[in-house]
Amino acid sequence: MSGYDRGATTAYARRWALGRNPAYYDFTELGGDCTNFVSQCLFAGSGVMNLTPVTGWFYRSAMDRTASWTGVEYLWRFLTANHGPGPYGRACKRDELEPGDLIQLGDGTGRYYHCLLVLRPGLDPLVAAHDYNALNRPLSDYAYRALRFLHVEGARR
């Protein structure tokens, strides 16, 4: 895998899962902070943002960011379609997950509403997340109707 440091990604997640990095706005009261947190983790592991207006993936401030930085569905779309700078990935099966990959929770109607970062894969992966701060929380602790898994394949400069 090129350009994606899973150790840096998960170290960042462990450092900030139970708190907030003051360099980033806390979106908890504006629809949730889960994808903002996962994006921060991905950036820690890739070191590169995609500065393409509207369709890229970046954060400069709360008012200067893309929807993919903070939106569950937008992040999925960015990561699975990105051919430019920044992280990229693909849908995968649970048994293909590695530390630094993503899990998204859905309501069963096709709407996905929560984003988790995998710390330890397995039958019941351990994750880190924001909104309800979580560090090493088992996936089985969450209520959901649908799941999807994303394997981060790398990051381009």
Query: What is the pLDDT confidence band of residue 11, given thresholds at 50, 70 and 90?
Result: very high
> What total number of domains does the chain contain?
1
| Whole-number average pLDDT of the chain | 97
Task: Confirm whether 42 is domain-assigned.
Answer: yes
The 3-state secondary structure of the chain, one letter per residue? CCCCCHHHHHHHHHHHCCCCCCCCCCCHHHCCCHHHHHHHHHHHHHCCCECCCCCCECEEECCEECHHHHCHHHHHHHHHHCCCCEEEEEEECHHHCCCCCEEEEECCCCCEEEEEEEEECCCCCEEEECCCCEEEEEHHHCCCCEEEEEEEEEEEC
Task: Confirm whether 11 is domain-assigned.
Answer: yes
Structural domain of 91: 6-156
* Residue 22, domain CATH: 3.90.1720
pLDDT digits 0-9 by tens, 12-30? 999 999 999 999 999 999 9
Task: Confirm whether 1 is domain-assigned.
Answer: no
> The pTM is what?
0.98
Check whether 1 has a pLDDT greater than 90. no
